[in-house]
């Protein structure tokens, strides 16, 4: 009788996983193929970039290389246009999105996220001509101001929600959007703190950085829905590298030091 009950529980559990769409973990295919394919959109400084030598470098890249090493597989970079990156994951062109992606409810209904591995927020780069009249991002919420950012990013959502009265112009890259501010064709750029801080440091006197984030944006690694084993691995991997100092070492390399700039300039 007891054996029959246990068998029923096992069968029911398997049926439940099948109903949820869970079959084989991505971990199995990664180990089987001997490689982990990571999707990102090169150009998000300092998370993922292309060096002068043609190599992919950055915070996300280093963490994924470490993850691959710990798994005993090869790291395979998959540079992907941002507007198609979720589709690439779903259609198995890659195993994971490690691309500074903000965890949002809209994205989370399509894909799953591991626990946040870093938290950022939106800040503002001003054209110096208006620095005396703008003391806070709220002051930009006026039809007389033109704001720029990269299309399809969380910055566009922030602008819609908090700066809807201002005019907006969207660009394919954050670099294009930032240059519009420098060239006087826009009043301000709204984008992530890490990028804005670096851009302001490289363009002193050409922009003014309002460096207080006005949004809370946790970034997470994304995987296909219905894969609890892979999520379990990612969360434990994150805990491990934060505990053993590996995370801090990689973070300091990309966020607290600018030695890597020579590789991309």
Domains of the chain: 25-119+218-263 (3.40.190.10), 122-215 (3.40.190.10)
**Confidence (pLDDT) at 130:** 97
User: If we measure between CA atoms, which residue out of 116, 111, 115, 118 comes closest to residue 59?
Assistant: 118
Cβ-Cβ contacts under 8 Å for 41 (sequence gap 6 or more): 48, 79, 80, 81, 82, 85, 99
Cβ-Cβ contacts under 8 Å for 204 (sequence gap 6 or more): none
CA distance 178 to 125: 8
CA distance 220 to 214: 19
**Confidence (pLDDT) at 258:** 79
**Confidence (pLDDT) at 255:** 83
**Beta pairing, strands 167-171 & 146-150:** parallel
Prediction pTM value:
0.71
Residue segments in the chain with a per-residue pLDDT below the cut of 50:
1-21
**Confidence (pLDDT) at 4:** 43
**Confidence (pLDDT) at 6:** 34
Dihedral, CA of residue 108, residue 109, residue 110 and residue 113, to nearest 10: 20
**Confidence (pLDDT) at 265:** 75
For 64-187, list the strands marked E by DSSP.
Answer: 74-79, 96-97, 111-113, 118-120, 122-126, 146-150, 167-171
**Confidence (pLDDT) at 23:** 62
């Amino acid at each position: 009788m007891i054996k029959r009950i246990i068998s029923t529980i096992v069968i029911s559990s398997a049926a439940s996983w099948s109903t949820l769409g869970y079959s084989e973990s991505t971990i199995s295919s990664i180990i089987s193929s001997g490689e982990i394919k990571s999707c990102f959109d090169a150009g998000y400084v300092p998370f993922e970039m292309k060096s002068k030598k043609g190599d992919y470098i950055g915070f996300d890249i280093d963490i994924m290389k470490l993850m691959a090493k710990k798994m005993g597989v090869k790291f395979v970079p998959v540079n992907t246009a941002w507007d198609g990156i979720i589709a690439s994951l779903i259609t198995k062109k890659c195993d994971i999105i490690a691309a500074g992606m903000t965890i949002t409810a809209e994205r989370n209904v399509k894909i799953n996220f591991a626990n946040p591995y870093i938290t950022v927020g939106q800040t503002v780069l001003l054209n110096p001509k208006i620095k005396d009249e703008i003391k806070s991002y709220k002051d930009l919420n006026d039809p007389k101001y033109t704001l720029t950012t990269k299309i399809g990013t969380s910055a566009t959502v922030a602008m819609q929600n908090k700066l809807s009265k201002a005019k907006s112009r969207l660009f394919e890259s954050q670099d294009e959007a930032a240059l519009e501010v420098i060239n006087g064709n826009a009043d301000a750029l709204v984008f992530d703190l890490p990028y804005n801080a670096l851009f302001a440091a490289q363009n002193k006197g050409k922009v003014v950085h309002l460096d207080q984030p006005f949004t809370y944006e946790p970034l997470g690694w994304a995987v296909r829905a219905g894969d609890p084993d892979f999520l379990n691995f990612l969360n434990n991997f994150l805990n491990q590298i934060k505990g053993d100092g590996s995370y801090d070492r990689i973070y300091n390399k990309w966020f607290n030091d600018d030695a890597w700039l020579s590789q991309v300039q």
